[in-house]
Amino acid sequence: MMGSSACAIVLFAHGARDPEWARPFEAIKALVEQRLPGASVTLAFLEFMSPSLDAAVESLIAKGARRIDVIPAFMAQGGHVKRDVPLILDALRARHAGVTITLAPAVGEAAPVIHAIAGWVIERAQHPGA
């Protein structure tokens, strides 16, 4: 059972048929767990992979989470994040009135992510083949 102050995070990605596709998300999850040792962090996927967002949130709630932050690991707020995800989360909120479920903006729209990607592109341009 999670403590009431425990942080629950769902890293939510699109999913793909190729299991290798999930590697970067697994690495992000591992880094978050390492840097937030009290957090309960899980991956969830829109399609092709499991668990689904619904199943991941239900699992965290079953373990005692009362506050869950859903982080869309998408580059931008496309149709899935704007339309599909809020519907899924509204249904979960209706079933679990005592649980706070928040939806963060897409990670690709966060300034630190934009700066990190730009930095990587600049580094590649300055040192091709590195």
Q: Note the Cα 94 to chain centre separation in Å.
A: 21
Whole-number Å distance between alpha carbons of 90 and 99: 12
Told to judge if 14 belongs to the known catalytic residues of this protein, a careful annotator would answer yes
Q: What is the DSSP string of 17-62?
A: SSGGGGHHHHHHHHHHHHH-TT-EEEEEESSSSSSBHHHHHHHHHH
Which member of 14, 80, 96, 127 is catalytic? 14
**Residues in CB range of 84: below 8 A, 6 or more apart:** 46
Mind telling me the catalytic residues? 14
